[in-house]
């Protein structure tokens, strides 16, 4: 049997996604900038996808810009806003447990003369609001906060955060990395006070190599990519029609019967947590008393006395696929900054795995994974050096 439980890294595309992508590759392969019918046919896929996405967010279609990934969306938001508003100030605020595509981009901006304040979080991964508000200064131009943490599944109250920061400094621009949140939650930027929102397609059963950035019409962003002026000059280059069409199909499907899909995910998450908590010296991180207050698909579990990488590969040999943290950092292994930020004890930092679910995950996969962990733990602990 196989249990793929690494859906926070990537998901398997829906059948509807694969079908529409094949159609754009086989039949409707025109360049959307071309004036003939093949071009207009390709352009229709862009318009249709933009309409689906805008409707899911309750925003205007002109506020959606397609990118190559969530990473590009984050880079465009941070660098584009920082450069555009530099005369107003050069101070940016974020948290101390963001994704690498935020953290490393902020590092780049620091090397260019910007100052970044990193706000701490509590043991459940929630931003400390007093520290956040205290960090706001006259020259603060941008605040960027992840809605759902990709390693532990903690969820920020984005609407409350936006309300608080804008009461203190109305002109501050608020960016939200929603790469693990979109598709799991109904997100309405206008209502929640979000100025920019980053999303990635392959986290919601869409294709890899496609994402989008929502930019409120009142916010200015300097483009990172220059050329032929596609997407109103925000991102030049021929649009990825197959990817965009696939993204539109994924958004449409993930938000169909959405409540039922999320109820299914929470039931699976509770099943996995219950199974893990029965095992000796196993700790589920950052869940708290109410599972529904965390993201429905991410579970962080620490296994005392076993290195994460050893357990990961032992599970892989039995057809169980999980991760030891963010997939984007897997080529540069280091102890998780997220786990450090929430106060996980040092002895468990290198003994923690992430299990992540999708709407196609089954109870059988959960039970199989728990059974394999239960069998492997005592064996692997026998060989652990003390």
Query: What are the structure tokens assigned to 227, written together?
Result: 């050329």
DSSP 6: B
How far CA 179 is from CA of 71, 212, 248, 289, 325, in Å, comes to 9, 10, 15, 25, 15
> 267-304 in b/e burial notation, b at 16+ Cβ within 10 A?
ebbbebbebbeeeeebbbbbbeeebeebbbbbbbbbbe
Contact yes or no for 295/152 (Cβ under 8 A): no
Q: Which residues pair with 121 in a beta bridge?
A: 127
How far CA 27 is from CA of 10, 248, 311, in Å, comes to 28, 18, 46
Contact yes or no for 273/284 (Cβ under 8 A): yes
Contact yes or no for 53/39 (Cβ under 8 A): no
Q: Which residues pair with 140 in a beta bridge?
A: 91
> 93-115 in b/e burial notation, b at 16+ Cβ within 10 A?
bbbbbbbbbbbbbbeebeeeebe
Query: What are the structure tokens assigned to 200, written together?
Result: 């990635």
Question: Which of left, alpha, beta for 325 (phi over 0: left; psi -120 to 50: alpha)?
Answer: left
DSSP 355-367: EE--TT--HHHHH
Rounded distance between C-alpha atoms, residue 55 and residue 217, angstroms: 16
**Residue 328 annotated among the catalytic residues of the structure:** yes
Which of 159, 164, 328, 380 is catalytic? The answer is 328
349: Cα within 13 Å, side-chain hemisphere: 15
Contact yes or no for 148/180 (Cβ under 8 A): yes
**How many other CB atoms are found less than 10 A from the CB of residue 119?**
20
Query: What are the structure tokens assigned to 311, written together?
Result: 């357990």
Catalytic sites, residue numbers: 328
């Amino acid at each position: 049997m196989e249990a793929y439980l690494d859906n926070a890294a990537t998901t398997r595309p829906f059948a509807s996604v694969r079908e529409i992508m094949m159609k754009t590759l086989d039949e409707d392969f025109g360049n959307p900038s071309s004036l003939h019918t093949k071009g207009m046919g390709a352009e229709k896929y862009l318009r249709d996808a933009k309409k689906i996405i805008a409707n899911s967010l309750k925003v205007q279609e002109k506020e959606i810009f397609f990118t190559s990934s969530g990473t590009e969306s984050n880079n465009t938001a941070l660098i584009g806003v920082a450069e555009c508003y530099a005369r107003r100030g050069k101070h940016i605020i974020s948290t101390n447990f963001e994704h690498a595509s935020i953290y490393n981009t902020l590092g780049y901006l620091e090397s260019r003369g910007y100052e970044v304040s990193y706000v701490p979080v509590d043991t459940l991964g929630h931003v400390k609001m007093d520290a956040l508000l205290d960090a706001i200064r006259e020259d603060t131009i941008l605040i960027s906060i992840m809605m759902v943490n990709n390693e532990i599944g903690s969820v920020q109250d984005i609407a409350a955060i936006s309300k608080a920061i804008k009461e203190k400094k109305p002109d501050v621009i608020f960016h939200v990395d929603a790469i693990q949140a979109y598709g799991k939650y109904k997100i309405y930027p206008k209502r929640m006070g979000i100025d920019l929102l980053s999303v990635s397609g392959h986290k919601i059963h869409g294709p890899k190599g496609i994402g989008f950035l929502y930019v409120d019409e009142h916010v200015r962003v300097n483009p990172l990519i220059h050329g032929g002026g596609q997407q109103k000059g925000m991102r030049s280059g021929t649009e990825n029609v197959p990817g965009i069409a696939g993204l539109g199909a994924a958004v449409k499907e993930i938000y169909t019967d959405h409540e039922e899909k999320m109820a299914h995910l929470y039931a699976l998450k509770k099943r996995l947590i219950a199974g893990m908590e029965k095992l000796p010296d196993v700790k589920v991180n950052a869940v708290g008393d109410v599972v529904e207050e965390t993201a429905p698909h991410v579970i962080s579990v620490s296994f005392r006395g076993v290195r994460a990488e050893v357990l990961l590969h032992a599970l892989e040999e039995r057809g169980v696929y999980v991760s030891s943290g963010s997939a984007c950092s897997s080529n540069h292994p280091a102890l998780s900054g997220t786990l450090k930020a929430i106060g996980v004890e040092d002895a468990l930092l290198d003994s923690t795995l992430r299990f992540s679910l999708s709407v196609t995950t089954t109870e059988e996969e959960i039970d199989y994974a728990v059974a394999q962990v239960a069998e492997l733990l005592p064996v692997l602990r026998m060989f652990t050096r003390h």
